[in-house]
Structures are given as structure tokens and as C-alpha cells.
Amino acid sequence: MAAVQHFDIIVIGTGAGGGTLAHRLAPSGKRILLLERGDYVPREKDNWSTKAVNLEGKYNTKEVWRDAEGRELHPHTNYWVGGNTKFYGAALFRLRREDFWEIKHWGGLSPAWPISYEDLEPYYSQAEQLYQVHGRREEDPTDPPASAPYPHPPVSHEPRMQQLSDDFARLGLKPFHVPLGVMLDERNPRASRCIRCETCDGHPCLVYAKADAQVLCVDPALEHSNVTLLTRAYVSRLETSPSGRDVQRVIVEREGATEAYSADIVVVSAGAINSAALLLRSANDKHPQGLANGSDVVGRHYMGHVNSVLMALSKCPNPTVFQKTLALNDFYFGSKEWEFPMGHISFVGKLDGDTLKAGAPAIAPGWTLELMAKHSLDFWLTSEDLPDPNNRVTLDRAGNIVLSYQPNNEEGHGRLTEKLKNLMKQQTKCRVHGHECHEGLFARSLYLGQRIPLAGVAHQNGTIRFGRDPKTSALDANCKAHEVDNLYVVDASFFASSGAVNPALTVMANALRVGDHLLERLK
Ligand SMILES: Cc1cc2nc3c(=O)[nH]c(=O)nc-3n(C[C@H](O)[C@H](O)[C@H](O)COP(=O)(O)OP(=O)(O)OC[C@H]3O[C@@H](n4cnc5c(N)ncnc54)[C@H](O)[C@@H]3O)c2cc1C
Ligand code: SF4
């Protein structure tokens, strides 16, 4: 192995956490090394092919994990510069203020975070600026207070979505515009980088108009000469000093060789599953259960939300191109009849026949897949799952990832689905068919079965939780490992609970917060 090269800071992973942190740290002049196991997503027409992306899984990792029973798992996750933000739907929500508190759910308690919403609020505003979020405050009844307006106006609804929004409003609900990180300028379409296409959610953006961590954070960070990025650099292990109090060497597999790097500060941001696996793989005499894992929480409390895709079929076609503009949070904390949280209703990108084929779904009587896709409104329902210590990441003997998960807190999700069913029956705004336009609601996982299955790890979080008590958490409130003085984690691992909105903006805001802490520490 060549001599160990030393940096001020090493960041492992360039997604929502690592990429955003790199952007915050880059202007400091500190010598920063970014280690990313993936490469840049190639820019090619297949970026926008639903067949290549959804049916063939062209950009998914080919890594095979196992479930608790030892069955093969082909995870729907992506190893590239920018991480999963290259593929995300860019719905950039703040957690609700109450999500930071202890909340009683049907299935148990959602624990409090060691920081408050107010601690993170300034960083949410900064993250919204950085990721160019388009939205409108005060439409969403559960929106927490914000110190700044959204930097850009909301992405408008296309006519079918506006019709649905009007139907919901007539029923006394508060439909709102999804806060979105797309570089769309509807007032000046000729200059707009985003062309508002149908292949956004789940796809990389061919024209670099999605607000992802590569385009907005990693590439600008690399303009600073003090920042170095190594791609195809898989971090296999972290080694500590003899006392176990510091990470001394970061071991990297690159181009068939093993390399080692060192830094004053090492930040792990490999995604909640891979970061936990890395710490577990790094067990040594001083950390026999895995690095920074005296509490035995590393890998545990895996959460990924209770998610469903539901297709509402109408007699009239749904010609919407960019569907992910509308959402409902009226049932987020419950309803008059049900005192427990239910979750969040929004949309996936418009489904098409190729995407539906990927799930080999049952076909509604009298319909073909193509016809169903042409007539469907494609809802995305998210409910909170609770941190169960037995839902966890472990390693098999060969060091491969094993993901054990039993869904919990499902009653609220079922009730949310029932709510949506009832709402859809009450639509009246179709000028041709009135309320008879709605044909029914079909559970339609993008993959197999009714729910998003275990391999759908898009919202993974919670596996290296932060907290005040080193007995029940691995990280302190600054996301520093309780047991290792120079080790931080800034991906979605730190979540103490998952809330029921998409996680990325919280990961980004927290990375900016930890970035400020590190700049202070390194002064
Ligand atoms: C299809 C899809 C749609 C989504 N839509 C939304 C949405 O609309 N809104 C939202 O908020 N969230 C969405 N998400 C989730 C969002 O993308 C994630 O919450 C977010 O990217 C998590 O950030 P992270 O930093 O934890 O991990 P990631 O972004 O996954 O980054 C982890 C990085 O670490 C790298 N890495 C992993 N292991 C190693 C290793 N050993 N060595 C070196 N590098 C390593 C990976 O290659 C990757 O680049 C979506 C996800 C998917 C897949
Ligand atoms: S052009 Fe706009 S809508 Fe299309 S993928 Fe890019 S960001 Fe998304």
C-alpha cells in the first residue's frame, strides 16, 4: 500500500448528505477528500427511457443483499456521484415541527429528536435556497413556520391536477403545491433549464435541470482547488488508533488496489444502509460490536416509511405530463374519527405501460396496461413507520448486507387509503361524467404486490440514530459518534424517527448544520 495521504476532512459518499456537506465546507480552504463508490451517471438518451430505467433497472446497483430469511434482495438504490438525488423526485419537504417531538401513533411511540425544529429551521431555509425549491408557503395546513419564503414560485398544476385540486378543495380539504427542486422557469420557458418532462421521478435529468447533489453541490465544490473527488472509490473499512478514540485510516478499494487515506475529521455519508454496514465492518478490539457501537444501535431501527402507489382510474384520460405537483396533508396527524397520524398523500411521476410492466401487475377488468396508464392518477401514499430495534442492517459471514424488516404501524396507512378511496368517489368536476368519471382505486406497486416491497429502500433512514444518551444512540446531537472523537455521520442514518414526508431536505439541512459545526471546530 502506498504512503497514507492526509486531508483535513474526508467525506464518504456524495449524495444528499455528503454532497451538501462538501458544498458547505468547500469555501473554507480546508483540504477535503470526497470518496464515492460510484461514477458520474453517463449522460445519454436512456436517462429518460422508462424502459431502461424502470423495466431494465439500467442504473440500479447490481449488488445483491439478503433479507432475514436469506433470500436475495435486489435493492432499488443507486451508486453514483450525487447518490440517490440523481434519481429522486425532488419533492423537498420540511419535517413538521411536531415530528421533532414524541408523538403517539396507533402502533406505538415515535420518539423525540435531540434537536428541535427551531434548531434546524435556518438550515431548512438555506437548503431550500441551495436546492432551488419551488413552492408556496401557508397552503399546507401542517407546514411548520419558516423564516424565509420559498426562493421560487410553485410549479403549476396541469389541468387534470388542477381539476383534482378543485375537487379536494370543494370537499373542505387543503390541497397544496408540492415543494419541488426543479429548475423550472414558467414565466420564461425559452430560458428555463427544466423542460417539464414526464421522466423526472426515478430518472436522472439529462439536461441537468433537477436540483440534485451532483449538479448543485459536488460540481460547484470541485471548483475549489482544495476539494478532491475520487470516484469508483469504495470505502471498505475504517481503522482506529490503538485507543479506539479516532479514525486513523480510511481503507479504499479503487481500480483493483487497496489504498488508505487519513484525515482530522472523517464523515460517513454512504446512505443509511451502507453507512451502518461500514461501521459494522469496521469492528476491532476496541469496538467489538462495530465502530462507535457500544450502544448496539448501529444498524438497528431501520425505517423506510410505509409507502404505496395507488392508481385511480377515470373514464377520462389523464394527459398530465408532470404529475408530481399536488399533495394533501389534511390527515397527517389524524382526523376527527381517528386520533393517530395517518400520513401524506401525493403523487409519483406519471406511470406508463413500460413502468407498469416492471411490476407484472394484475390488469383491471376491461383494461390494458397502456390504457390504465393513460387514464390513471398515480398517487403516492406515505405513512410513518416506527423505529423497531429488530428492523436492522447486519452483515452475513461474507460481509454482505442483510436487511431484516417487519412493517409496523400499518393501521394509519390503511385508513389513509380508505380516506383517499372515499374522496375519489366524491369528485364532481369532470364536465363529461361528473362523479361517475372515477372507476376505482387500484393498489399498484411499481414493483410487485400491493406495497413498495423491502427492496424499495428509497427512504432508508434511522440506522445510526442521534440522541443525547450514549446508551441508546450512536451519535450526539451534532452527529458526532459518542465513542469516536473525529467521526461524524450526515446521511439519513441519524434520523430518530421518520416522519411521513420525503426525507431528502432534512438530510440536506442537517448536513449544512453539521457543516457549520465542523467549520467552527476546525477554526
Ligand atoms: C427513485 C427515488 C425517488 C426519490 N424521491 C424522493 C423525493 O421526491 N423527495 C425526497 O425527499 N427523497 C426522495 N428520495 C430519497 C432521497 O433520494 C434520499 O432520501 C437521499 O438521497 C438520502 O441521502 P443520503 O445522503 O442519505 O444517501 P444517498 O443520496 O443515497 O448517498 C449515499 C452515497 O454514498 C455512496 N456510497 C455508498 N456506500 C459507499 C461506500 N462504501 N464507499 C463510498 N461511497 C459509498 C453512494 O454511491 C451514494 O452516492 C427518492 C429516492 C429514490 C431512489
Ligand atoms: S427537465 Fe425538468 S422535469 Fe425533466 S427530468 Fe429534468 S428536472 Fe425533471
- Please state the three-class secondary structure of 256-304 as a single string: CEEEEEEEEEEEECCCHHHHHHHHHHCCECCECCCCCCCCCCCCCCCEC
Residues 495 and 473: their CA atoms lie apart, in Å, by 11
pLDDT digits (tens, 9 = 90+) for 180-232: 999 999 999 999 999 999 999 999 999 999 999 999 999 999 999 999 999 99
Calculate mean pLDDT across residues 66-84: 95
Ligand nearest the Cα atom of residue 455: 1
pLDDT at 364: 66
Residue 207 Cβ contacting ligand 2 at under 6 Å? yes
Residue 194 Cβ contacting ligand 2 at under 6 Å? yes
Identity (one letter) of the amino acid at 187? R
Counting atoms of ligand 1 from 1, which one is nearest the CA of 457? 53
Backbone angles phi, psi at 507, to 5 degrees: -60, -45
Q: Give, for ligand 2, the residue of 180, 194, 322 to mutate: max count of ligand atoms closer than 8 Å to Cβ.
A: 194
Counting atoms of ligand 2 from 1, which one is nearest the CA of 210? 7
Q: List the alpha helices (DSSP H) in 366-482.
A: 369-375, 411-425
Split at pLDDT 50, 70, 90, the class of 312 is confident
The model's pTM is: 0.96
Residues 468 and 494: their CA atoms lie apart, in Å, by 12
Beta bridge partners of 314: 438
Instruction: Find out whether 399 and 326 touch, Cβ atoms under 8 Å.
Output: no
Q: Which of 267, 270, 272 is nearest to 494 (CA)?
A: 272
pLDDT digits (tens, 9 = 90+) for 357-398: 776 556 666 678 888 888 888 899 999 999 999 999 999 999
Averaged pLDDT of the chain: 93
Counting atoms of ligand 1 from 1, which one is nearest the CA of 252? 42
Among 60-69, 132-141, 432-441, the least confident range: 432-441
Q: Give, for ligand 1, the residue of 14, 84, 124, 501 to mutate: max count of ligand atoms closer than 8 Å to Cβ.
A: 84
Beta bridge partners of 233: 254
Return the higher-pLDDT residue of 289 and 353: 289
Q: Which three cell numbers stand for residue 437?
A: 368519471
Split at pLDDT 50, 70, 90, the class of 5 is very high
Q: Would the pLDDT of 450 be above 70?
A: no
Instruction: Find out whether 214 and 81 touch, Cβ atoms under 8 Å.
Output: yes
Which residues, including other chains, have CB under 8 Å from residue 355's CB and lie 6 or more apart? 50, 54, 55, 373, 446
Q: Would the pLDDT of 31 be above 60?
A: yes
What is the total residue count of the chain? 523
Q: Would the pLDDT of 448 be above 60?
A: no
Counting atoms of ligand 2 from 1, which one is nearest the CA of 193? 1
Return the higher-pLDDT residue of 430 and 470: 470
Split at pLDDT 50, 70, 90, the class of 2 is low
Q: Would the pLDDT of 444 be above 70?
A: no
The DSSP call for residue 370 is H
Residues within 6 Å of ligand 1 by CB:
12-18, 35-38, 79-80, 83-85, 87-92, 202, 234-235, 269-272, 274, 278, 458-459, 491-492, 502-505, 507
Residue 324 Cβ contacting ligand 2 at under 6 Å? no
Atom 6 of ligand 2, residue of closest alpha carbon = 205
Residues 67 and 402: their CA atoms lie apart, in Å, by 5
Counting atoms of ligand 2 from 1, which one is nearest the CA of 196? 3
Distance from Cα 87 to the centre of ligand 1, integer Å: 8
* pLDDT above 70: percentage of residues in the chain: 95
Calculate mean pLDDT across residues 62-77: 93
Among 315-324, 350-359, 454-463, the least confident range: 350-359
pLDDT digits (tens, 9 = 90+) for 45-57: 999 999 999 889 9
Report the SS3 class of residue 390: coil
- Which residue reads 428555463 in cell numbers? 192
Counting atoms of ligand 2 from 1, which one is nearest the CA of 203? 5
Among 276-285, 305-314, 458-467, the least confident range: 305-314
Residue 209 Cβ contacting ligand 2 at under 6 Å? yes
pLDDT at 447: 32
Split at pLDDT 50, 70, 90, the class of 511 is very high
Counting atoms of ligand 1 from 1, which one is nearest the CA of 90? 8
Q: Give, for ligand 1, the residue of 88, 217, 461 to mutate: max count of ligand atoms closer than 8 Å to Cβ.
A: 88
pLDDT digits (tens, 9 = 90+) for 134-155: 999 989 999 999 999 999 999 9
Q: Would the pLDDT of 62 be above 80?
A: yes
Give me Rg for the CA atoms of the chain.
Answer: 22
The upper half-sphere exposure of residue 479, i.e. CA atoms within 13 Å in the direction of its Cβ, equals: 30
pLDDT at 260: 98
* pLDDT above 90: percentage of residues in the chain: 84
Handedness of CA 226, 3, 270, 231 (dihedral sign): positive
